[in-house]
Amino acid sequence: MVTKVVDLRSDTVTKPTETMRAAMASADVDDDVLGSDPTAYRFEVEMARIMGKEAALFVPSGTMGNLISVLVHCEVRGSEVILGDNSHIHIYENGGISTIGGVHSRTVKNNMDGTMDIALIEAAIRDPEGELYYPTTRLICLENTHANCGGRCISVEYTDRVGELAKNHGLKLHIDGARIFNASIALGVPVHRLVQAADSVSVCLSKGLGAPIGSVIVGSKSFIAKAKRLRKTLGGGMRQVGILCAAAYVALQENVGKLEGDHKKAKILADGLNQIKGLRVDTASVETNMVFFDILEPGNITVEKLTKVLEERGILVMPVSSSSIRVVLHHQISGSDVLYALSCIKQAVLGLPVENGDK
Ligand SMILES: Cc1ncc(COP(=O)(O)O)c(C=O)c1O
């Protein structure tokens, strides 16, 4: 019988800590749609300060944060956004920027490290002379860390260069910073500096930071004023939202400092997986809290079988293709959980009998 679950599917699976639950229970709240929730106000002011932007807005999810941001920057019909072909906005957000916002996407190939070649971005910017035919480029989106590229970090130098390019062409820059704090910690660059070139950033609170619900978008005061209207349009205006912001505030205070430990555990896991015959990890690409590993052919086990065997042992992982699996570290995975997961994966891959009493 499984006595303990080690959930490595995502960093979205964290449970609110006791401190968060206490903060939620005692939060001073009011109607945030009427603009009078003091806890939401305090959280947004703090978030704007940390991110080095004029204002911030709490939103229910990262998807809504990105959607609102793109729509604010592309409010004129016929707008086009340049974004990575492997980006979360392009792949996993139901095409909302086009179905809801009427915004046209122009994808540029994401490199393995999550960047797009600057020359390719520049080449994708529409020539205003052709406006009779072309949509109008208004926005460039980056993603940091880049989830589908293994949680890799986009450097501040690269971000500044894209910001410069955007400015030179009269475009805006949005960063899907769902895990921007992971990037900031891994790069050793303060988060406000990392996003300095961006006109807006969307940050998830319910991923590595461990809050139960919510994201925040940051930008100029006029950007946030427009974002607030759109949030209401999309049904994201919430009343006593201070309950959620109280947990998010605790996440900021208590959990940013834990991300470094998550990254170390990811390295240990990656190195351990790489030593198992039949598996391969590009350990150099493990920069934050994500590890992608491949099952080599011909092998003893398939992705489907390994996922099932591990589940029976209480270890949950995320298959991402017919040959690879993703695991994600977060603050509720301990060092001994990592060792336990490694030993179970090894037993399963090598076809060894499962040892009892590991946990
Ligand atoms: C890079 C990235 N951006 C945006 C999102 C969307 O966040 P949410 O699930 O809160 O809508 C995710 C979610 O996994 C993500 O990984």
pLDDT, one tens digit per residue, over 84-101 is 999 999 999 999 999 999
Mean pLDDT of the chain: 96
Q: How far apart (Å, rounded) are the C-alpha atoms in residues 86 and 89?
A: 9
- Residues found in the chain: 359
Q: How far apart (Å, rounded) are the C-alpha atoms in residues 136 and 80?
A: 6
Tell me, what's the pLDDT at 350?
86
pLDDT in tens, 214-223: 999 999 999 9
Beta carbons of 259 and 208 less than 8 angstroms apart = yes
Name the pLDDT band for 76 (thresholds 50, 70, 90).
very high
Tell me, what's the pLDDT at 359?
40
Atom index in ligand 1 nearest the CA of residue 60 equals 10
Burial class of 302 by CB neighbour count within 10 A (0 to 12, 13 to 18, 19+): middle
Beta carbons of 260 and 297 less than 8 angstroms apart = no
Query: Over pLDDT 70: what percentage of the chain?
Result: 97
Task: Using the mean position of ligand 1's atoms as its centre, give its distance from the Cα of residue 59 in Å.
Answer: 12
- 19, pLDDT greater than 80: yes
Domain 6-12+258-350 in this protein, CATH class: alpha beta
Tell me, what's the pLDDT at 354?
57
Please tell me if the CB atom of residue 287 comes closer than 6 angstroms to any atom of ligand 1.
no
Please tell me if the CB atom of residue 7 comes closer than 6 angstroms to any atom of ligand 1.
no
Name the pLDDT band for 203 (thresholds 50, 70, 90).
very high
Domain 14-254 in this protein, CATH class: alpha beta
Task: Using the mean position of ligand 1's atoms as its centre, give its distance from the Cα of residue 88 in Å.
Answer: 7
Beta carbons of 16 and 24 less than 8 angstroms apart = yes
- What would the mean pLDDT of 114-121 be, rounded to a whole number? 98
Q: Return the higher-pLDDT residue of 131 and 95.
A: 95
What is the largest distance, in Å, between two alpha-carbon atoms of the chain? 71
Residue in 204, 207, 231, 234 to alter for ligand 1 test, most ligand atoms within 8 A of Cβ: 204
- 319, pLDDT greater than 90: yes
Please tell me if the CB atom of residue 154 comes closer than 6 angstroms to any atom of ligand 1.
no
Tell me, what's the pLDDT at 299?
75
Please tell me if the CB atom of residue 11 comes closer than 6 angstroms to any atom of ligand 1.
no
Burial class of 261 by CB neighbour count within 10 A (0 to 12, 13 to 18, 19+): middle
- What would the mean pLDDT of 317-341 be, rounded to a whole number? 97
- 224, pLDDT greater than 50: yes
Tell me, what's the pLDDT at 357?
44
Q: How far apart (Å, rounded) are the C-alpha atoms in residues 178 and 183?
A: 10
- What would the mean pLDDT of 158-178 be, rounded to a whole number? 98
Tell me, what's the pLDDT at 358?
45
Query: Whose C-alpha lies nearest to ligand 1, atom 13?
Result: 62
Please tell me if the CB atom of residue 176 comes closer than 6 angstroms to any atom of ligand 1.
yes
Task: Using the mean position of ligand 1's atoms as its centre, give its distance from the Cα of residue 98 in Å.
Answer: 18
Q: Return the higher-pLDDT residue of 262 and 3.
A: 262
Tell me, what's the pLDDT at 353?
61
Please tell me if the CB atom of residue 88 comes closer than 6 angstroms to any atom of ligand 1.
yes
Please tell me if the CB atom of residue 61 comes closer than 6 angstroms to any atom of ligand 1.
yes
For CATH 3.40.640.10, list the domain ranges present in the chain.
14-254
For CATH 3.90.1150.10, list the domain ranges present in the chain.
6-12+258-350
- What would the mean pLDDT of 57-75 be, rounded to a whole number? 98
Beta carbons of 216 and 65 less than 8 angstroms apart = yes
Sign of CA dihedral 45, 47, 50, 53: negative
**C-beta neighbour count of 352 within 10 angstroms:** 11
- What would the mean pLDDT of 61-83 be, rounded to a whole number? 97
Query: For the chain, how far is it from start to end, CA to CA, in angstroms?
Result: 11
**25 Cβ contact list (under 8 Å, min separation 6):** none
pLDDT in tens, 24-47: 999 999 999 999 999 999 999 999
Task: Using the mean position of ligand 1's atoms as its centre, give its distance from the Cα of residue 63 in Å.
Answer: 6
Please tell me if the CB atom of residue 144 comes closer than 6 angstroms to any atom of ligand 1.
no
